[in-house]
Amino acid sequence: MAHETTARDRAAAAHRALAQSVEVTDGDVRLTDSAKNAIKAHAYLKARAQVADARREHEAVVAAQRRELERNAFGYPADPDRFRDALNGASERITTRTQAAAALRRAERTGDDLAAHAVFVIAAEKGFGDIVDSYAARHPESGSALQRLRDHDAAADTVAEKLFSPLRPPQLPRGLPPNEDRLARLAAEARASDPPNPFGLPAGSR
C-alpha cells in the first residue's frame, strides 16, 4: 500500500481537477479550438505545479517517517554513548558475514545485549540479511520495528505506485504542444483574454 499523506491526496485532487477541466472544455461548443487549447494549457500548467509541490512535501514527510522507523529499529536509547562505542568497535572488526555471525553468537552467548544490537546494526549496513534476520527472530521488539521499516520501504516500490501514482506529473492533454514556451504562451492567453470558462467561475478565478 502506498504511503498516504495529505500531500498525496492534494496531488490526486489536482489530477482530477485537470481531467474534469479538459473534459468540460473539450465539450464546450461555445469555444474555438484556440480558446480550448488556451484554457487547457492554463489548467495543465497549474495542475503540474500543484503536483510537483505536493510531491516535494510528500517525499519530505515519507523521509521523516523513515528516519523515525530507522531509529526505532536500530537505535539503543538505553545507553546511546556506550552503544556508539560498541558500533564503532563492531564496524572496525566486522568486514565479512562470517565475522558478523561469530560476533553475534559471542554477544548473545555472554548476554551482552548492547554488543549484539551493535552487530545487528552493522550487519544491516553491510547487507548481511541472514544475520539481521537471525537477530530479529530472537528479539521480537527489534524484529517488529525492522518489519515496519521494511514495509515502509516496500510501500513505494509496487508496480501500481510506479505507474499510476498521483505524484507522477499529469499527462499533457490532447492537442497541446509539448514545447514549454508555447504552453506558457497559451496559458498566458487564457489569463489575458479570460475566455468563457466551463465551470461558470467568476473572471480571474482560475
Integer Cα distance of 46 and 44 in angstroms: 5
Report whether pLDDT(203) > 50: no
pTM for the full model?
0.79
Percentage of the chain surpassing pLDDT 70? Answer: 93
Chain mean pLDDT for the chain:
91
Q: 137-164 pLDDT, tens per residue?
A: 999 999 999 999 999 999 877 777 877 8
Domain boundaries, the chain: 6-193
Characterize 106-142 residue by residue with b for buried, 16 or more Cβ atoms within 10 angstroms of its Cβ, and e for exposed: ebbeeeeeebbbbbbbbbbebebeebbebbbeebeeb
Query: Any residues with CB less than 8 A from the CB of 154 and at least 6 apart, and which?
Result: none
Q: Select from 203, 196, 186 the least CA-distant residue to 38.
A: 186
For residue range 30-53, what is the model confidence (pLDDT) as tens digits? 999 999 999 999 999 999 999 999
- Chain segment 73-85, per-residue pLDDT in tens: 999 999 999 999 9
For residue 12, give the H/E element and its range. Answer: helix 6-26
